């Protein structure tokens, strides 16, 4: 699956460049945290890598062309208007997995995210934290090789954030490549093995987490880590 190579990549909307040009190589490892101020292109970069954003220029190449085994968790969790259990079974039913296997996977994940008691309730009635846990479990239920997450803990309380971070670390340890955008520097420090810092649609700095956080090279990243407002 890896490396993932982005070459001379640009995304333009209404004549304005919102991302790029970008050249980037992502290899095994992680979790990778994509950080940067609002509007720096973090979400667009993740969407491009996942293949759900139209590219204006350049290429996104996976080592293996068949790269359908990705999953993506959106900033605002999208829950289907179904029960919690049906939300989890949905991705598996799309690939026509036998019912017994679907039930076993749903049972495992529903307990793992602690929603067993509300399995047969409508997912639209869950709290923000529960919805996001459900969205992550639904993304993981197909055992993806890569999991993209776009600020999954924004607007969540501390307890939910901690539970999600634990789940993500376990997922990364189990071998899923986690690539996540976040504006929460504390979270980035807790989770990151390596970091991509973005500013104004371009990659301003990359590196291993200790290097990036303890010895940032660019003035922009130094200012960002200090908490300054970047234009």
Binding site for other proteins (CB under 8 A): 50, 52, 68, 70-72, 74, 78, 80-83, 90-91, 94, 120-122
Q: How far is the CB of 212 from other proteins (least distance, A)?
A: 28
- Report the residue number, 122 or 217, with the smaller CB distance to other proteins: 122
Q: How far is the CB of 127 from other proteins (least distance, A)?
A: 16
Q: How far is the CB of 33 from other proteins (least distance, A)?
A: 20
b vs e for 139-159, b when ≥16 Cβ sit within 10 Å of the residue's Cβ? bbbbebbbbbbbbbbbebeee
Nearest to 31 by CA among 136, 187, 211, 163: 187
- Report the residue number, 94 or 229, with the smaller CB distance to other proteins: 94
Q: How far is the CB of 215 from other proteins (least distance, A)?
A: 36
- Report the residue number, 115 or 203, with the smaller CB distance to other proteins: 115
CB under 8 Å, gap of 24 or more: what pairs does 57-60 form? 57/8, 57/9, 57/10, 57/12, 57/20, 57/21, 58/6, 58/7, 58/8, 58/9, 58/10, 58/20, 58/21, 58/22, 59/5, 59/6, 59/7, 59/8, 59/9, 60/4, 60/5, 60/6, 60/9
Residue 81 CA, distance from chain mean position: 23
Q: How far is the CB of 191 from other proteins (least distance, A)?
A: 22
- Report the residue number, 53 or 194, with the smaller CB distance to other proteins: 53
Helix (H) or strand (E) holding 224: helix 219-226
- What whole-number distance in Å separates Cα of residue 87 and Cα of residue 228? 41
- Report the residue number, 41 or 144, with the smaller CB distance to other proteins: 144
- Report the residue number, 83 or 154, with the smaller CB distance to other proteins: 83
Q: How far is the CB of 26 from other proteins (least distance, A)?
A: 18
């Amino acid at each position: 699956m890896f490396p993932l190579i982005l070459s001379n990549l640009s995304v333009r909307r209404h004549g304005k460049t919102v991302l790029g040009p970008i050249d980037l190589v992502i290899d095994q490892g992680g979790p990778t945290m994509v950080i940067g101020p609002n509007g720096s292109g973090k979400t667009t970069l993740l969407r491009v890598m996942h293949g759900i954003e139209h590219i204006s220029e350049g290429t996104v190449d996976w080592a293996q062309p068949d790269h359908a085994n990705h999953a993506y968790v959106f900033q605002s969790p999208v829950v289907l208007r179904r029960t919690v259990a049906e939300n989890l079974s949905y991705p598996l039913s799309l690939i026509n997995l036998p019912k017994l296997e679907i039930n076993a996977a749903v049972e495992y994940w529903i307990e793992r995210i602690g929603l067993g008691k509300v399995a047969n309730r409508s997912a639209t009635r869950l709290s923000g934290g529960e919805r996001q846990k459900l969205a992550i479990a639904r993304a993981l239920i197909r055992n993806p090789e890569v999991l993209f997450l776009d600020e999954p803990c924004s607007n969540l309380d501390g307890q939910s954030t901690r539970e999600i971070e634990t789940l993500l670390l376990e997922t990364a340890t189990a071998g899923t490549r986690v690539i996540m955008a976040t504006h929460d520097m504390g979270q980035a420090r807790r989770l990151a093995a390596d970091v991509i810092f973005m500013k104004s649609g371009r990659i301003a700095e990359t590196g291993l987490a200790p290097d990036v956080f303890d010895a940032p090279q660019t003035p922009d990243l130094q200012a960002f880590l200090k908490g300054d407002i970047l234009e």
